[in-house]
Amino acid sequence: MRKLRAVLIEDETMFRQLILLTLGKVKDLQVIGEFGLGKPGLEFCLREKPDMLVVDLMLPDVNGMEIAREVRKALPDTKILVITAHPSERLPADLMVLGVNGYVDKTEPIEYVLSAVETVRNGGMFFASRVRAKGGLAQGGLIVTRPVLQIPLTEREQEIARLVAAGQMSKEIAASLNLSVRTVEKHRANIMEKVGVREVASLTRWCIQAGLVDT
């Protein structure tokens, strides 16, 4: 696997160093630029065309959302991972509209950044936050414009993922598929791990983007 060229934009010096140390643990990843301000970071990205951008939302000069928007517009193949200390209920849906591949709440364990990078690198999505996602995706006006994701799930897992995204509980799924609740729970755990999500709302977003369910 060729080296993944990454850029980090984070204004908090200590947290930026922590992220750099964490990214240093990712095999075949090279940080080609680190910035404390958004504008020079954005200019560098547009010039150097990195494979991945890790960007904080709250920067002193330019909002991280605007950086993500500009990078997605100019560099459609660049993976974008957002980190923030200010998550909100609407944030996942808003980021999905921009085509962001994932985000990590700064209050989550730093290891989540490793999981996020690996998941996003392999074509998946990773959304980790202690804030519960608000309502359904349709309420947030989510529009999926990115290419359909590769689906790392078996046919049975896809079937269960669709039912979970439809709001069915494990007991209901077990009854409809003639499986034990324990088996369904095991499938759900495997699905979450493969997709790289931690909650049903994030799994639903992934299912929509992967084309398993309609918006």
Matching CATH number, 4-135, of 3.40.309.10, 3.40.50.2300, 3.40.50.970, 3.40.120.10: 3.40.50.2300
pLDDT of residue 130: 46
pLDDT at 66: 93
* Assigned CATH topology for domain 155-209: Arc Repressor Mutant, subunit A (1.10.10)
Q: How many CA atoms lie within 13 A of 188 on its CB side?
A: 22
Among candidates 63, 62, 39, 48, which has minimal Cα distance to 7? 48
**Which residue stretches of the chain have pLDDT < 70?**
1, 89, 129-151, 209, 214-215
> CA 87, CA 103: separation in Å to the nearest integer?
9
pLDDT reported for residue 129: 56
* pLDDT one-digit tens code per residue, 81-90: 999 887 776 7
pLDDT at 43: 97
Q: Distances from the Cα of 114 to the Cαs of 26, 66, 159, 173, 215, in angstroms?
A: 7, 24, 29, 32, 30
Task: Tell me the per-residue pLDDT of 121-159, one tens digit each, with 9 for 90 and over.
Answer: 877 778 775 444 444 333 332 222 333 345 678 888 989
Looking at residue 9, its pLDDT comes to 97
Q: What ranges do the domains of the chain cover?
A: 4-135, 155-209
**Same CATH fold assignment for domains 4-135 and 155-209:** no
Which pLDDT value is given to residue 214? 64
For residue 173, the model assigns a pLDDT of 93
